[in-house]
Amino acid sequence: MTGHLTQLELRHAPQLEAFLSAFDGIPEEFHAYFCPRDASIEQAVHSLDCWSRGLELGEGWVPCSTLFWEEDGALQGVINIRHQLTPGLEAHGGHIGYCVAPKFRRRGVATRMLSGALAHCRQLGIERTLLTCDADNPGSRRVIESNGGVLEREEWVEHLDGDQSWYWIDVPR
């Protein structure tokens, strides 16, 4: 089966639980781009739909699309596309953030998710995307660079206690 990006649906309840459970015990590796861990599938589907339309956003949030990489019956990764940047997102976060479940890493999932997310950006009218990653994360750097990412700068970020890299990707037409 070929993988693809998909919106979360009620039918994904068991797959979502398996995906979230993959991060039990390693919460620092999971970046919650969607509802809290204890949200029901109904709450998660509702919130993600609203947020993609700019509704029910938290203070300081921007509209965002959250998509999952689904392959072989499993949700293997999640990617979040912020429809616009705030000063805070320009400083830390950018337009796109993603996370792959540990057992699916090093299989090209993140690279394919980002490629698909860039196509989604084009549909949203985003012509240039900002992505950030820890400077000492070679996997994420490869994913971004393989999708056309151009390094803008690297610098120390106090709250991360490390260097961060800022990349720009011109969204293909």
Q: Which 8-state DSSP code applies to residue 94?
A: B
Which pLDDT does position 159 carry in this prediction? 79
CATH number of 4-126: 3.40.630.30
Whether residue 85 is predicted with pLDDT greater than 60 in this model: the reply is yes
Q: What is the mean pLDDT of the chain?
A: 91
Taken in order 73, 45, 48, 65, is the CA torsion positive or negative?
Answer: positive
Helix, coil or strand: residue 80: strand
Q: Which residue has the higher pLDDT, 173 or 8?
A: 8
For the chain, domain boundaries: 4-126
**Tens digits of per-residue pLDDT, 45-70?**
999 999 999 999 989 899 999 999 99
What is the pTM assigned to this prediction? 0.92
Helix, coil or strand: residue 163: strand
Q: Is 110 exposed, middle or buried (0-12, 13-18, 19+ CB in 10 A)?
A: buried
Average the pLDDT over 105-124 and give the result.
96
Q: Which residue has the higher pLDDT, 12 or 28?
A: 12
Q: How far, in Å, CA of 138 to CA of 116, rounded?
A: 21
Q: Which residues of 133-154 are buried (b: 16+ CB within 10 A; e: fewer)?
A: bebeeeebbebbeebbbeeeee
Average the pLDDT over 136-141 and give the result.
94
Average the pLDDT over 2-11 and give the result.
94
